[in-house]
Amino acid sequence: MGRFDGKKALITGGARGQGRSHALRLAREGADVAILDIAAQVESVAYPTSTPEDLEATAAELEGFGGKVLAITCDVRDQTAVEAAVAEVEDAFGAIDIVLANAGVMASYGDKKHDMAAWDDSVAIMLNGVYYTLRAVTPGMIERGRGGAIVITGSTSSYIGVAYKPEMLNPGQMGYGAAKSGVLSLMRNFAMVLGKHGVRVNTVIPAGVATKMIRNEFFEADLAGDAPGGWMANVMEHGPVEPEEITNAVTWLCSDEARFVTGQSLAVDMGTMLL
């Protein structure tokens, strides 16, 4: 028996990174899982973003657990596309119980970080896209009366500034911070309204996670290469964690073990925000 037997999950940004890790855990624990992903390059982002092959490979892994799987190419910047994807999942699964609004990019480095498109994409994916997702799933979750859990991926940048040089006040970096701060308001407001319907809404707040978002040549050159001592330090004196460490927290937030936890931000930051 898995803790999510009979549950239906929708995950944005599910092709790789944290989203893939979350999807695999939920499927392993018995959930039917739908992964949504752009599966294409975001032009303002320097590192390679997800591909159709990433989406297909993750879907194949999920199918190995025996539950229903949907893999949908969806750009969360497009409200109509998000609404269509949610409708497709509801039709195929009959319900959505778990929503992980996880899709994200980092346009903070590389040649295009000073273009306003870097701001636009950051906010469109990590703030607008979260709102479109929550707005699309909420009516069905209320109507079905099954309760549920929503977890939004935030960041330590939801709470603290990380810029240490004027160049970091670029549209990409500022868009990232603005979006990650904005989702806290979305979380709190949706939690206020959905609580009486048994739907819990929380954020998970990671520090550095070892995905392609930071494990790439552009991050090392533009940011980490000249960072001052103690930049993004944490009290555990640990480097970036693996995605599975964030999945552990997300899994708990979605489970019945956290059935009275809502409107909260769970930091998995090794004590970064203590400093």
Residue 220, pLDDT score: 74
Structural domains of the chain, with CATH? 8-274 (3.40.50.720)
pTM higher than the cut 0.95: yes
143-201 residue pLDDT tens: 999 999 999 999 999 999 999 999 999 999 999 999 999 999 999 999 999 999 999 99
Tokens read off for 229: 């001592």
**Mean pLDDT on 239-258:** 97
Residue 249 binned pLDDT confidence (cut-offs 50, 70, 90): very high
39, 55 Cβ separation under 8 angstroms: yes
Position 222 pLDDT exceeds 80: no
Residue 227 burial (CB count, 10 A) = 12
Residue 227 binned pLDDT confidence (cut-offs 50, 70, 90): confident
Residue 1, pLDDT score: 80
If phi over 0 gives left and psi between -120 and 50 gives alpha, with beta otherwise, what is residue 71? beta
Q: In what order do the strands lie in the sheet with 148-153?
A: 69-73, 32-37, 8-12, 98-101, 148-153, 199-206, 265-268
Give the position of tokens 């937030």: 253
Residue 48, pLDDT score: 96
How far is the C-alpha of 37 from the C-alpha of 210, rounded, in Å? 19
Residue 87, pLDDT score: 98
What positions carry a catalytic annotation? 176
| Tally of helices (H runs) and strands (E runs) in the chain | 8, 7
Residue 77, pLDDT score: 98
Position 223 pLDDT exceeds 80: no
- Secondary-structure percent of the chain, ordered helix, strand, coil, rounded to 5: 45, 15, 40
**Mean pLDDT on 219-243:** 87
70-122 residue pLDDT tens: 999 999 999 999 999 999 999 999 999 999 999 999 999 999 999 999 999 99
Residue 175, pLDDT score: 98
How far is the C-alpha of 223 from the C-alpha of 57, rounded, in Å? 31
Position 224 pLDDT exceeds 90: no
What are the DSSP calls for 249-265, one per residue?
HHHHHHSGGGTT--S-E
